């Protein structure tokens, strides 16, 4: 089951709220934001989420709940506030105006949250973080399930195009023969008689150059393998992306070798589906 790199999980415990958000990323990137008094728990939180994912950009935000903020209250740096008040009042007397407490309360360092001294904050957060991580991983799997269905539907569509191309490929020699014969008759008209043997030789040579049997075999193999990987466990995003490149390469070769317009149109349609799949695969871990 593929896992999406997009996910969300949250939990609360011991006066703290934990929120985890994930986005797609080429590598593993984890950012942790938490109150200063919990700084000793940052590495534990980082390691816990690192063990749960293999790729993606993850933000962990830990904040105090409203009830905890009410209990702790706010701290006011009165000395700093008094110093700013004196300076601002002097400026107001000189330039006009007046100073209110609102002017001072927004100055950095004047007001802040009271903080607890915690020797080891990890026990306060561990259970809640594990719950948040579990919800986060489950949301990634659920999103991955939706991606798998959408991608496999597109692979089925490409499979149908493959079957049509395979059927049309049988007519490549005949189509080339008719085109070559018509061109020669138009060019020489009644001046010379067509050499049917020579014509057959030219058709055979071109049929060999335009043969797409090997490309069709490889294309079918890639499509089958892609389906198998979509049901595999673990981080499969990069492998799927590589396989899409191989599928696209076979389609390019088929399109360049086939002289039949309807085959070219099917190749374009298939490559369009590949690009849509590529966008979805970018979000798979």
pLDDT at 184 over 70: no
Q: What's the mean pLDDT in 188-212?
A: 62
Place 169 in a pLDDT band, splitting at 50, 70 and 90.
confident
Q: What is the mean pLDDT of residues 214-236?
A: 92
Q: What is the pLDDT of residue 261?
A: 84
Whether residue 249 is predicted with pLDDT greater than 80 in this model: the reply is: yes
Task: Order across the sheet with 16-23: list the strands.
Answer: 7-13, 16-23, 56-64, 28-33
pLDDT of 121? 78
* Pair type for strands 56-64 and 28-33: parallel
Domain layout of the chain by residue ranges = 7-70+119-139, 74-113, 140-281
The mean pLDDT value for 227-231 works out to 93
Q: Token pair of 256, please?
A: 């360049």
- pTM > 0.75: yes or no: no
Higher pLDDT, 120 or 116: 120
pLDDT computed for residue 117 by the predictor: 53
Mean of pLDDT values over 21-42: 89
Q: Decide: 159 and 261 in contact? Cβ < 8 Å.
A: no
Q: Are 203 and 180 in contact (CB under 8 A)?
A: yes
The dihedrals phi and psi of 90, each to the nearest 5 degrees, come to -65, -40
pLDDT of the residue at 182: 63
What's the pLDDT at 283?
93
Give mean pLDDT, residues 3-16.
Answer: 89
Q: Residue 240: CB partners within 8 Å, gap ≥ 6?
A: 226, 229, 230, 281, 284
Tokens read off for 169 = 């490929």
């Amino acid at each position: 089951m593929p896992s999406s790199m997009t996910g969300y999980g949250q939990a609360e415990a011991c006066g703290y709220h934990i929120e985890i958000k994930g986005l797609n990323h080429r590598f593993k990137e984890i950012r942790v934001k938490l109150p200063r008094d919990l700084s000793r728990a940052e590495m534990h939180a980082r390691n816990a989420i690192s063990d749960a994912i293999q790729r993606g950009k993850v933000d962990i935000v830990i904040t105090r709940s409203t009830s905890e903020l009410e209990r702790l209250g706010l701290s006011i740096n009165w000395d700093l506030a008094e110093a700013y008040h004196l300076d601002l009042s002097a400026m107001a007397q000189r330039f006009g105006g007046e100073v209110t407490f609102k002017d001072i309360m927004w100055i950095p360092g004047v007001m802040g949250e009271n903080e607890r001294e915690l020797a080891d904050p990890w026990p306060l957060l561990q259970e809640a973080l594990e719950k948040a991580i579990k919800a986060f991983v489950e949301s990634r799997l659920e999103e991955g399930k939706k991606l798998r269905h959408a991608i496999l539907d597109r692979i089925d569509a490409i499979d149908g195009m493959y079957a049509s191309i395979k059927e049309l490929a049988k007519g490549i020699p005949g189509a080339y023969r008719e085109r070559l014969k018509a061109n020669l008759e138009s060019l020489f008209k009644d001046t010379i008689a067509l050499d049917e043997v020579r014509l057959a030789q030219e058709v055979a040579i071109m049929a060999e150059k335009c043969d797409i049997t090997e490309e069709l075999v490889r294309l079918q193999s890639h499509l089958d393998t892609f389906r198998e990987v979509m049901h595999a466990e673990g981080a499969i995003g990069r492998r799927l992306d590589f396989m899409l490149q191989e599928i696209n390469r076979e389609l390019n070769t088929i399109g360049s070798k086939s002289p039949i317009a309807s085959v070219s149109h099917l190749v374009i349609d298939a490559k369009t589906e590949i690009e849509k799949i590529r966008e979805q695969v970018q979000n798979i871990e």
